[in-house]
């Protein structure tokens, strides 16, 4: 037998996580900046405004990159936004990406 490591480094397992960001996050180009940051990190998923004044979506990609975007969603956001908190849920390992790119949903 003989194990042999997998081709992907440990931090490179793919994960999927849902998020919702609370605060002043609508009407401040939050979705556009989130899309830009996700693309810069090579992540896929989506972002949309909700009817109750938050922004929500899903991120998929390598664990380390997803964590970077989570930090960005918690602390930075778009220049005019004021984030009170970000909540993450349904984090799970995935075999393959379920989205082709990172989209802004209406």
* Residues labelled as active-site residues: 31, 49
Task: Please provide residue 86's backbone torsions phi and psi, each rounded to the nearest 5 degrees.
Answer: -125, 135
CA distance 52 to 22: 10
At 23 the three-state DSSP class reads strand
User: Is residue 14 within 8 Å of residue 92, measured between CB atoms?
Assistant: no
């Amino acid at each position: 037998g003989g194990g042999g490591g997998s081709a992907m480094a440990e931090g490179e397992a793919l994960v999927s996580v849902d998020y919702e960001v609370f605060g002043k996050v609508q009407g401040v180009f939050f979705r556009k900046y989130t899309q830009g940051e996700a693309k810069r990190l090579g992540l896929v998923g989506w972002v949309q405004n909700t009817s109750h004044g938050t922004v929500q979506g899903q991120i998929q990609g390598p664990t380390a990159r997803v964590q970077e975007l989570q930090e960005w969603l918690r602390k930075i956001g778009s220049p005019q936004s004021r984030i009170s908190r970000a909540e993450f849920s349904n984090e799970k390992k995935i075999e393959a990406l379920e989205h082709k790119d990172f989209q802004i949903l209406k």
